[in-house]
Homo-oligomer: A and B are copies of this chain.
Amino acid sequence: MSEQKVKILDCTIRDGGLVNNWDFEVSFVRDLYESLNKAGVDYMEIGYKNSPKLLKAKDSGPWRFLDDEFIREVIPEKKATKLSALVDIGRVDEHDILPREESLIDLIRVACYIKDVKKGIELVKKFHGLGYETSINIMAVSNSLDHEINEALEEINNSPVDVVYIVDSFGSLDGKDIKALAEKFRSYLPEKELGIHTHNNMQLAFANTLVGIDHEVTFLDSSVYGMGRAAGNCPTELLVSHLKDVKYDVAPVIDVIERLFIPLRRKVEWGYIIPYMITGILNEHPRSAMALRSSDDPDQFMAFYDKMTSVEPNVE
């Protein structure tokens, strides 16, 4: 598979918003868009397009409930970098979605667990009918049974979706796992584009993305300086510098890291931190580790490890 066909999708604002409750200034997001465009990044995911009616979260920044008019204020001049938004099953109001020609958004991605794939496909059909590019991002594949994945992929293959994502939600997969999943996805989805979204709990986010490229995955998620929930994602700067396509230039990403992300990282935390490593090696959601890091004893690693690996009866 030639690297020429791959696309980088930077999800800093969306996945990084899980770190700072989407508390990004408009000027920050605008600056990031300009920087990613200069770097040749293909897509920028500017947030979630969930409905504030369906998800109570008054304190969250506007990037959690994107409004099309607001996006036009943020990005007054659209450039080569396309825009995407993520929606969650049960949290998006489809009446909020304008026809594509009335929106700056190009791609709508549907995040869903295996059990919700039918609902995900229904949403995809609607967004596809409105003219959008679409993806289904299957979360937590590491916690799904093989036959469930197979059945879901068969249904997805009969839908109009453009891209199907392998999502390593817990950062628990290694290169062999990615290879096996990419081969499975390819065999069940011969005509679809494949995507990969990784987490860095075991310092494998970038490496696993490269394994994906070697196995016909073409949509590559990343975030600047790895900013994303818990251990974060595949760093955009590594992907941009590694891909040989002449359109990519790492300098604008280094520049925006220096100006915006080093100061931000001093205020909020993400990256390779031992409790996230522990949930990664245990194939667990990082929420317990995130709770530890927000507690008064964020460095009590051993007590956390003992709790997570205890086989004693749970008395909760």
Tell me the A residues contacting B by CB distance below 8 Å. 174-175, 200, 202-208, 210-211, 225, 235, 237-238, 241-242, 250-251, 254-255, 257-258, 262, 272, 274, 277-278, 281, 299-302, 305
Q: Is A255 within 8 A of B207, CB to CB?
A: no
- Once A175-B175, A175-B211, A258-B274 are accepted as A-B contacts, the answer to whether A238 and B203 lie under 8 Å apart by CB is yes
Residue of B174, B207, B305 touching A203 (CB-CB under 8 A): B207
A250 to B274: give the CA distance in the assembly, Å: 12
Q: Is B238 within 8 A of A254, CB to CB?
A: no
Q: Is A175 within 8 A of B210, CB to CB?
A: yes
Q: Is A241 within 8 A of B281, CB to CB?
A: yes
Inter-chain contacts of A305 with B (CB < 8 A):
250-251, 254
Inter-chain contacts of A203 with B (CB < 8 A):
200, 203, 205-207, 235, 238
Closest chain B CB from A182 CB (angstroms): 15
A12 to B207: give the CA distance in the assembly, Å: 23
Q: Is B175 within 8 A of A299, CB to CB?
A: no
Q: Is A175 within 8 A of B207, CB to CB?
A: yes
Q: Is A204 within 8 A of B206, CB to CB?
A: yes
Closest chain B CB from A280 CB (angstroms): 9
Residue of B nearest to A207 (CB): B207
Q: Is A302 within 8 A of B254, CB to CB?
A: yes
Closest chain B CB from A278 CB (angstroms): 7
Supplied contacts A174-B210, A203-B235, A225-B274, 5 more A-B pairs, CB within 8 Å: A203-B238, A204-B206, A241-B281, A254-B278, A255-B302
Residue of B204, B205, B210, B254 touching A301 (CB-CB under 8 A): B254
Inter-chain contacts of A274 with B (CB < 8 A):
225, 237, 254, 257-258
Q: Is A258 within 8 A of B299, CB to CB?
A: yes
A279 to B241: give the CA distance in the assembly, Å: 12
Q: Is B302 within 8 A of A258, CB to CB?
A: yes
